[in-house]
Structure 1
Amino acid sequence: MSLKTVAIDARLVGGTSTGDSSYWAGLLHGLSHLDLDLHFLLFSNAVLPATIPESDKFSWIHVPARSSRWWSYVAFPLKARKLGARAIHTQYSLSPLAGRLGITTIHDVSFFIGPEWFKPRDRMILRQTVPAAVRRSRKVIAVSKTCAAEIERYMPGAAKKTVPIYNGLPPWVHQVSEPSVALDKIGVKQPYMLTVGTQWPRKNMQLAINAAKEYREMPLVVTGKAGWGDQAEGAHVKAVGYVDNETLCALYSGASLYLAPSRHEGFGIPVIEAFACGCPVLCSTGGALPEVAGDAAVVEPTWDSTHWAGTIREMLADSSKLMELCQRGFERVKKFDWIESARQTADVYREVLG
């Protein structure tokens, strides 16, 4: 039986663990565990990373290029078609050279919802490339039902081609029984609250920072890459920068409360990471966060730090409520499995392959 071939833009695999790179890592993990009549060509302009799952389903294809744009729009699709790919899977952008082979994953459309959260050049590029990718794609994968509805609202042509498929829990996430060992290395002492994310305006870190300052009884630890938004600082805030995966698991596991104050998310992977590590969650109403959190988190609007400080105080004063949220989180996170998400994605591939 000959295998049908899918080409994947795998440039972000093995890079810094952000939502976009986590998506490919999780999807490849899931695909590697399935018995499929498909073969995957993983295209990149980099060398093979050690994080690629071992599988005879995968072939790593190195394609150098003069620029990222040239790679995306010319080098990658031409090489993919030359090697016999009958479907091409990307994120956010899709070359016209993909023809009718294209599948595009879109994580959010916050560049339409909150244009002020983006630098003007980034906003302009996203508003051009994403709608173009939707028009060219045979199928569009949205990472939540909320995200799918927003794609269809801002890009009506997507209505008949968009498929919601949840992200899964990253396979490396686990509860750490003795988090203090890792925490000592980065100078973090319990008790503390935690928030995770790149410091962009959309992530709304300042809400969590201001709420922690008003609460005053427990510091807030902030981890993630530096961005161009408000920077984490203050007497009740400790910024530890970007940390490795094992340290991040320790931070989740040792935290008394996880804060997810984002103005908008297409999914919100840190919320399910916190669930898996036994950390209770307070999240905003931003985008898909209520959908993902379900009944396993306390959900509040995103604009009033005094209200958030009061909610933090109530939550941390009620140990039985925190325990109940932890148990609900452990159950809720079972819904988000990369093997199941990969199975649904493979169904999309087959539909495009015909």
Structure 2
Amino acid sequence: MKIQPYIIYDSQIFDQQKFGGISRYFCEIISKLQFKYDIAVRYTENHYLSQTKIAKHRLYIPYFLSKQYTQKLYRKNQRLTKKMLQSPIPYLYHPTYYDPSFLKYTGNSPLVVTVHDMIYERFSNLIEGSEEIIRQKREIITKANRIIAISEYTKKDIIDILNIAPEKIDVIYHGTSLRPSQEHNLPLPEQYILFVGDRTFYKNFQALLEAFSIVHQTNKKIHLVCTGKPFSDSELQQISNYNIASNIIQIATKDKDLNELYSRALLFVYPSYYEGFGIPILEAYACNCPVALSNTTCFPEIAGDAGAFFNPYSINSIADTIINVISDKSKRTKLIKAGQERLKLYSWEKAARETENVYLKTLEEYIKLSSAGKTLI
């Protein structure tokens, strides 16, 4: 008899993120599923979910009310999650984050969890409150029937840190939906390198600022454009100390502007110490933007030969690599072509099909092990 999976996703990540890689990942995968599913979200400000029709329970609520009653609305989502997980209809549960409190409502239903990175575990001494999320992740991951890792590097981290059996872990790469842009709607300088995302410590932004101050000495016209939140006082002080304030731009952009930012940049720079995958690599490839990035963690695995690599712990290595790429048109052209080829390995459609295979494998294994397995089909 053919297995007909029914997948339940909870509200966790959609309660936590308006924008963010994990919620975007789930929206991309779920929107391409060929299986039956349900998402336990009634109220959310998540941008990606609001742009789709995949959350059938979602209700519109005015912004001023959502801000006033945020916690109350989150609790309503959680109650909806609990109600779904207590359903008599057989299902597979795929939590969107690591809160293990929902497990007491799932009964014997099989569980699949996606692990995006092990940053909390690797940098526990530098992240305040990491103990609780580490405990929750460990509980969810060890109880999961199968685990999806977003890179081979992340899989290795899971095995090394949590001693999980390798055969329980499937590696499924991300994709990107960005396309190159010919538009010039944003007020951008003629020559700039691009930094995308937040600037937490492992993103290594402070090193990039220092490296850029060296690059600026060789090219006074070059700018550094940064997306994300406004600069902090310490960042502004560092920028001032390096005398590069007139060549640094912080821009708050919407998702629809990202393709223009990448497409017009001379170079995208990704100096992180650690990433689980690195979607911006694919975004740059998709927008014909060359990439310079760290030679650590998952980056060599994801970028292959389509990146100019540097040592993220060496300011001179970062600066020299940037200068080498932006001053050599043929080098940029080669990196762009290599990026276009590399991008063929990744797509959200492929990720969705591989995720479906994990669901099927999970149910097949579960049925073999469960005396009540026939109720799952």
1:85 Cα shift?
4.7
Unaligned runs of 5+ residues in structure 2 are 60-69, 365-377
Change (3 A) 1:70 1:147: farther
Residue type at the aligned position of 1:215: V
- 1:165 — aligned with what? 172
- The alpha-carbon distance between structure 1 residues 190 and 17, as it changes in their structure 2 partners (threshold 3 A), is farther
Q: How does 1:27-38 map to 2 (within 5 A)?
A: 27-31=29-33, 36=34, 38=35
Q: What's 2:123 paired with?
A: 114
The structure that is strand-richer by fraction is 1
**Offset at 1:209?**
1.3
- TM normalised by structure 1 equals 0.85
Q: 1:174 to 1:17 in 2, by over 3 A?
A: farther
Aligned residue in 2 for 1:316: 326
Which structure has greater helix proportion? 2
Counterpart in the other structure of 2:93: 88
Over the residues paired in the alignment, what is the CA RMSD in angstroms? 2.8
Deviations 1:149-196 (A, max 9, x none): 111110113533111100111x2x111113xx2222xxx212000011
Residue 238 of structure 1 aligns with an amino acid whose one-letter code is I
Q: How many residues align?
A: 335
Q: Find 1:175's aligned residue among 177, 180, 183.
A: 180
Q: In the alignment, what sits opposite 2:370?
A: none
Q: Percent identity?
A: 24
Q: Give the one of 336, 347, 354 matched to 2:346.
A: 336
The unaligned stretches of length 5 or more in structure 1 are: none
Q: Equivalents in 2 of 1:263, 1:139: separation in Å?
A: 28
Given residue 214 of structure 1, which amino acid in structure 2 is its aligned partner? I
AA matched with 1:162: I
Supply the AA of the counterpart residue of 1:320: S
- Correspondences of 1:80-159 after superposition (within 5 Å): 80-82=85-87, 84-93=89-98, 94=100, 95-97=102-104, 98=106, 99-118=108-127, 120-121=128-129, 123-159=130-166
Q: Secondary structure at the match of 1:193?
A: strand
Alpha-carbon distance in structure 1 between the residues aligned to 2:96 and 2:311 = 29
Q: CA separation of 1:83/1:211 partners in 2, compared to 1, >3 Å: closer, same or farther?
A: farther
Amino acid at match of 2:185: A
Q: Which string of whole-angstrom CA distances, capped at 9 and with x for unpartnered residues, describes residues 226-280 of structure 1?
A: 6989636442553434311121111101100110001100000111101110110
| Matched residue SS, 1:346 | helix
Matched with 1:247 is 257
- Pair 1:16–1:240, CA change in 2 (3 A): farther
Displacement of 1:317: 1.8
Residue 333 of structure 1, CA deviation: 1.2
SS in 2 for 1:240: strand
**Counterpart selection for 1:352 from 358, 362, 370:** 362
Residue 195 of structure 2 corresponds to 195
- The amino acid of 1:150's aligned partner reads D
Amino acid at match of 1:27: I
**Per-residue Cα deviation, 1:208-232 (whole angstroms, up to 9, x for no partner):** 1111111102121111246989636
* C-alpha distance in structure 1 between counterparts of 2:38 and 2:109, whole Å: 18
What do the CA deviations read for 1:33-91 (whole angstroms, capped 9, x no partner)?
xxx3x20101114159541256xxx74478x985868966x752442231625111123
Distance 1:71 1:177, change over 3 A: closer
What secondary structure is seen at the aligned counterpart in 1 of 2:273?
A: coil
Distance in structure 2 (CA, Å) of the matches to 1:328 and 1:291:
14
Matches within 5 A, 1:269-348: 269-348=279-358
- Opposite residue 26 of structure 1, the aligned amino acid is E
CA distance in 1, matches of 2:53, 2:335: 33
**Which of the pair has more CA radius of gyration?**
2
- Superposition pairs for residues 57-96 of structure 1, below 5 Å? 59-60=56-57, 76-82=81-87, 84-93=89-98, 94=100, 95-96=102-103
Distance of aligned partners of 1:353 and 1:61 in 2 relative to their CA distance in 1, 3 Å threshold: farther
Residues 154 and 330 of structure 1: CA distance in aligned 2, closer, same or farther (over 3 Å): same
Deviation at 1:5, TM superposition (A): 1.3
Moved more, 44-53 or 87-96: 44-53
Question: Any idea what SS the aligned residue of 2:297 has?
Answer: coil
Q: What amino acid does structure 2 have at the position aligned with 1:176?
A: S
Structure 1 residues 92-101 or 258-267, which shifts more? 92-101
Residue of structure 2 equivalent to 1:211:
211
Question: Residues 240 and 83 from structure 1, CA distance in 2 versus in 1: closer, same or farther, beyond 3 angstroms?
Answer: farther
